Amino acid sequence: MTKIILNGREVEADPKKPLIAACHANDAEVPHYCYHAGLTPVGSCRMCQVEVKQGEMPPRVVAACRTPVAEGMIVDTESPKAHETRRECLEFLLKNHPLDCPICDKAGECMLQDFTFDEGQAAARTDEPRRKLEKRKDLGDVIVLDQERCILCSRCVRFFDEVTGKMQLVIADRGAHSVVETFADRPLTGNYQGNVADLCPVGALTLKPFRFKARVWNLFKKASTCGECSRGCSITTEVLRGDEVKRFRPRYNADVNTWWMCDTGRFAFEHPNRADRLAGGQRRGYADSELISTEEALDQLADALGEHRAPVVIASPFLTVEEGAELLELCKQLGSEARFLSPAPNELGDEILHTGDPCPNRRGLTELGFAPVEAAEALELLAASKAALLVGERIGELVGTEGLAGLPTSLQLYVFDTNACLAPAAQLSIGVPDHTERLGTWVNVDGHRGKISAARSAPAGVRPLTSSLQTLRASIAGAEVTA
Amino acid sequence: MSPHPTYLLDRARLADSHTLKVARENGAYAAFEKILNDKPDPKEVTEVVKTSGLRGRGGAGFPTGLKWSFMPDASKDSRPRYMAVNADESEPGTCKDRVLLREDPHGLLEGCLIAGYAMGLDAVYIYVRGEYRLPYRRMQDAIDEARAAGLIGKNILGKGFDLEIHMHQGAGAYICGEETGLMESLEGKRGHPRPKPPFPAGFGLWGKPTTVNNVESIFNVPFIMTHGAAWFRGFGTEKSPGNFLCGISGHVAKPGVYEVPLGITAREILEQYAGGVWKGRKLKGWFPGGSSTGIVPADLIDTPMDHDSIKGIGSMFGTGAMIMLDETACVVRASEVLARFYDHESCGQCSQCREGTQWLNQIFHRIENGQGTMADVDLLESLSRGMTPGKTICALSDAAAIPTLAVIKHFRDEIVEHIHKGCCPLKGGSGRAPAADRTEVHA
């Protein structure tokens, strides 16, 4: 490590990283646009100006992203000269910016807004006509480009080139006429396009599914883990007004996904936002199903399970380690074998992040002692048994609602599920929270323990699965004692 | 003809000077052959260039020998090493290298060969400006002729020395004359200058040690090797020795490229060589070394043309390409033309340059068209200060800002008068455009 003096304090700096990384690592904010820790620094926005004094040379203002650290270097990120240079730089960046912040999806998390607030001057000195470029250039299924807002930092260009290995965006033309474009106007492809919207420091690249859907300051954000594959990327879940999940965004994790995530995971809010959520318990009546409270349903379930020896138990692949441990205890109590549903690998696997295995907690459940079963195998097991318990988020759908519908009516089926998919055979369904509503741990393919957390509350009346299972076990144990 | 001794253009004046036969009969390749025969330590060759005090003729005036010595020691660094000869002469006003490429290509090749020997180069790339069709062809023909004569390629003249020399034609971008932009362009990429560090000597073409030299700098080398460093120091001044090619243009009677010693006064070049200001008019101002060097007023015409003296009057020696403006020239119009050039040529990487060059152009355009406001002068000055010095990856931003600051420093009153009248004061009050639709800019 190299020792430098940063704002009067001696700190250690990684000599393999540029000066700006040392500043950021030591809580000295340096405004920047083109620099991103996950991409090659190009030093083109010229925003990250700091004052540096080396040896006997007079202090000078340099771009921190392209300045190597050197032993004894004296760095001042707050010097008047550095601030002045940054203010000048911002004035140039804003010269052609359309200032359409009121209708910009990036507003509120825009680096141009934030640093202008920090550094900029209040008054604009330009009355020149601003650049007129494409305001909504369609770049495929995921991204819309606003060329007028673009400040040409080239992060998006470098992302495709360096991270996905396939250069899809370029800066075309020259000077003040420069624009970001795709080769020959082709749409963007691949499963990682969404990352460029996160990378974009301004509102030039926006996500089609998020366009005009929410003001970002109304989103409640909670650190969590993605459930779309066994990579378990660290993410934030962003919920609008305690209700609808609007975004999943990658969260830096050096051990798992660094700064990125795939589009499959990013846009996996179809399930959390479903309308057919099961709130409380649902009992199959003679004519139709009937809604009851979770507590009543648990009582009835305890009675029903007491009558059967070793029912088939199949857990959802979304079960957390904590829920799995609880279910394992129940299995022991019932004399059942612990199994979890293991959907077949999909074709989404790649060399970057997606593993192609849609079980977010395969490793966690396997380590607990759960045995994987595929959907067809699960249906065979169910068909051959007198009673069965399906447990966890989306389990009915993953086993297959059609297959469940075809099961013999002699089967006594009990389900803990997020969604109401009461199969003809199911006697009782009890609602559980989905992975945006509960706490727990998933173990990813490499053994990393990813925390999931509740970004919103579960529908009213829904109890956490662990608590439901504890109640159930206590009831069954009590009944055995009385008997 | 010339009142001062010359050496650079002597051969170029001969008929068919571009052919190998004429060039060789008149001394070309003699210095190189002597080196091949004597086999001096390559470091000694660099040392001679260093001792001669030769300063780069591409604009910055950096000592050539010192630049060569930055190349890593071949015994410690086995990577291939290259030299790029910068013949992308695109600075407005500069036209000296064209003469050398066109009339004495073998002189340049000999310089390349000596540089190749001194620095242990594997290949030399001559990057020629796209618009230079004839110079490019002459240069290519010279390479073909020299190669056929065993002067380029493997085992040159049977002496066991190898050097490849390749040509590359630019595509008309000013920015590719910036050394790192030139290297990017040579690599087949867009001519976007690279941030420094790393410097070319450590990480240049394809990441290999590279030195980039101007045509005229390399062209001087064979003469220095033939006659010695002391002889070379007999020309010019102590800190800027040698002759240089002065391309003088603008409002003069005889514009052209003249070989003159460094340190000669600008007045002598103007009056003795270029025949004075044309049409018997008076001089208003002049650019000492190309459009990127700040304009200076006529009363500084007695300044010696060398790096330090020109720096002393607040400008830059640059490429020594003097652009003269007579008393009828409008500095606003001249500035607008230059601002448009830099706006057009900015590569667009750095914010200050991309937006600043456009902004300067827009303001000068408004003033020229009678739509300027009094706030514009201060705005021009303040914006230019935001673009310089060293705030961007390369010096194009400075090249646009410095002449703007200079024109405000020396001709502020004329710009103000221009704005005030809403038209060019030199055109008798009937400006180029009516001021009817002028818009006020918020101060």
pLDDT in tens, A273-298: 998 888 888 887 655 678 899 999 99
CATH number, residue A436? 3.40.50.740
Chain A contact probe: residue of B343, B349, B358 with most A CBs at under 10 A: B349
B70 and B188 in a single domain? The answer is: yes
Q: In what order do the strands lie in the sheet with B256-261?
A: B256-261, B243-250, B323-326, B283-287, B296-297
Task: Indicate whether A43 pLDDT > 60.
Answer: yes
**B441 falls in which pLDDT band (50, 70, 90)?**
very low
Domain range enclosing A7: 2-92
pLDDT at residue B439 tops 50: no
**Residue from the list B344, B352, B439 with its beta carbon closest to the beta carbon of A127:** B439
Q: Which residue, of A92, A121, A139, is where some domain finishes?
A: A92
Q: Do B180 and B254 reside in the same domain of the chain?
A: no
| CA–CA distance, A20 with A381 (Å, rounded to integer) | 59
Structural contact between residues B267 and B299, judged by C-beta atoms closer than 8 angstroms: no
Q: What pLDDT sits at residue B430?
A: 44
Alpha carbon distance B345, B396 (integer Å): 9
Domain boundary among B326, B342, B358: B326
- Looking at chain A, the whole-number percentage of residues with pLDDT higher than 70 is 97
- Is some CB atom of chain A closer than 8 A to the CB atom of B365? no
Contact yes or no for B362 and A128 at CB 8 A: yes
What is residue B104's predicted lDDT score, i.e. its pLDDT?
97
Q: Which of A20, A40, A46, A62 to mutate to test the interface with B (most CBs of B within 10 A)?
A: A46
Q: Is residue B173 part of a domain?
A: yes
Which residue spans within B226-380 are E strands per DSSP?
243-250, 256-261, 283-287, 296-297, 323-326
Q: What is the mean pLDDT of residues A422-436?
A: 85
Q: Where are the alpha helices (DSSP H) in A369-435?
A: 375-383, 395-399, 401-405
Distance of CA B256 to the CA centre of its chain: 15
Residue B435 placed within a domain: no
B184 belongs to a structural domain: yes
Q: pLDDT of B292-308, one tens digit each? A: 999 999 999 999 999 99
- A469, part of any domain: yes
Give the tens place of pLDDT for each residue, A209-244.
999 999 999 999 999 999 999 999 999 999 999 889
Instruction: Kindly report the CATH number assigned to the domain that includes residue A52.
Output: 3.10.20.740
The Cα of A232 is separated from the nearest Cα of chain B by a number of Å equal to 37
Question: Shortest Cα distance from B47 to chain A (angstroms)?
Answer: 28
Whether A59 has its CB under 8 Å from any CB of chain B: the answer is no
Query: Are A248 and A282 in contact, with CB atoms under 8 Å apart?
Result: no
Q: Does B391 touch chain A (CB under 8 A)?
A: yes
Q: Are residues B302 and B361 in the same domain?
A: no
| Same domain (yes/no): B126, B32 | yes
Banded model confidence at residue A422, pLDDT cuts 50, 70, 90: low
- Which of A76, A92, A108 is at the close of a domain? A92
A49 at the B interface (CB within 8 A)?
yes
**Mean pLDDT calculated for residue range B246-258:** 97
pLDDT, tens only, B167-218: 999 999 999 999 999 999 999 999 999 999 999 999 999 999 999 999 999 9
User: Which positions in chain A touch B357 (Cβ < 8 Å)?
Assistant: 175-176
B180 and B105 inside one domain:
yes
Per-window interface: A 178-207 vs B, CB < 8 A = 178
The closest of B125, B110, B128 to B205, measured between CA atoms, is B125
Region A406-418: what's the mean pLDDT?
91
pLDDT at A307: 84
A95:B347 CB<8 A = no
Residue B5 belongs to some domain of the structure: no
Cα–Cα distance for residue pair B220/B295, rounded to 1 Å: 28
Min CA distance, B319 vs chain A (Å)? 24
Residue B439 in contact with partner chain A when CB distance is under 8 A: yes
Q: Which residues contact B186 (CB under 8 A, 6 or more apart)?
A: B84, B125, B127, B168, B205
Chain segment A62-98, per-residue pLDDT in tens: 999 999 999 999 999 999 999 999 999 999 999 999 9
* Cα–Cα separations (whole angstroms), residue A302 to A289, A383, A478: 19, 22, 10
Domain assignment of residue A114, yes or no: no
Question: Mean pLDDT throughout A319-338?
Answer: 97
pLDDT at position B427: 77
Q: Is residue B239 less than 8 Å (CB to CB) from chain A?
A: no
Report if residue B442 sits inside a domain. no
pLDDT over threshold 50, residue A138: yes
Q: Evaluate if residue A483 carries a pLDDT over 60.
A: no
Burial (CB < 10 A; 0-12, 13-18, 19+), residue B340, is: middle
Domain assignment present for residue A180? The answer is no
Range of the domain at B387: 331-427
Given A92, A108, A131, the domain boundary residue is A92
Q: How would residue A410 be classed by pLDDT, with cut points 50, 70 and 90? A: confident
Q: Domain end: B194, B210, B232, which one?
A: B232
Q: Is there a domain that residue B90 lies in?
A: yes
How many angstroms separate the Cα of B325 from the Cα of each of B250, B251, B270, B300, B328? Answer: 6, 6, 12, 13, 8
Nearest Cα residue in chain A from B439: A127
How many angstroms away from the CA of A120 is the closest CA of chain B?
13
Mutation for testing the A interface, residue in B194, B351, B388 having most A CBs under 10 Å: B351
A122 vs B: CB within 8 A: no
- Asked if B344 and B260 sit in the same domain, the reply is no
**Which among A45, A126, A171 is the nearest to B359, CB-wise?**
A126
Do B285 and B312 fall into the same domain? yes
Structure pTM? Answer: 0.93
Q: Are residues B51 and B138 in the same domain?
A: yes
Domain count for chain B, please give it.
3
CB contact set of A57 (below 8 Å; sequence gap of 6+): none
Question: What is the pLDDT confidence band of residue A424, given thresholds at 50, 70 and 90?
Answer: low
Is the pLDDT at B432 greater than 60, yes or no? no
The per-residue pLDDT for range B356-400, each reduced to its tens digit, is 999 999 999 999 999 999 999 999 999 999 999 999 999 999 999
Q: Indicate whether A328 belongs to any domain.
A: yes
- For residue A407, being part of any structural domain is answered with yes
Q: Do residue B260 and residue B372 come from a single domain?
A: no
B108 and B207 both lie in a single domain: yes
Rounded distance between C-alpha atoms, residue B115 and residue B99, angstroms: 21
Residue B173 and residue B209 in one domain = yes
Query: Are residues A89 and B391, on separate chains, in Cβ contact within 8 Å?
Result: yes
Within a domain: residue B287? yes
CA distance B83 to B117: 11
Indicate the number of domains in chain A.
2
Residue-averaged pLDDT of chain B:
94
Minimum-distance CB partner of A127 among B358, B386, B441: B441
Using a CB-CB cut-off of 8 Å, the residues of chain A touching B382 are 125
Q: Is the Cβ of B369 closer than 8 Å to some Cβ of chain A?
A: no
Is there a single domain that holds both residue B17 and residue B147? yes
Chain B residues in contact with A63 by the CB 8 A cut-off are 195
CATH number at residue B383: 1.20.1440.230
pLDDT, tens digit (0-9, with 9 covering 90-100), for B409-428 = 999 999 999 999 998 888 75
Last residue of one domain, picked from the residues B311, B326, B341: B326
Which residue in chain B is spatially nearest to A32 when comparing CA positions?
Answer: B351
Q: CATH no. for residue B320?
A: 3.10.20.600
pLDDT at B257: 97
Which residues of chain A are within 8 Å of residue B362 when distances are taken between CB atoms? 128
Among the partner residues A88, A127, A174, nearest to B442 by beta-carbon distance: A127
Chain A hits for B345, CB-CB cut-off 8 Å, are: 174-175
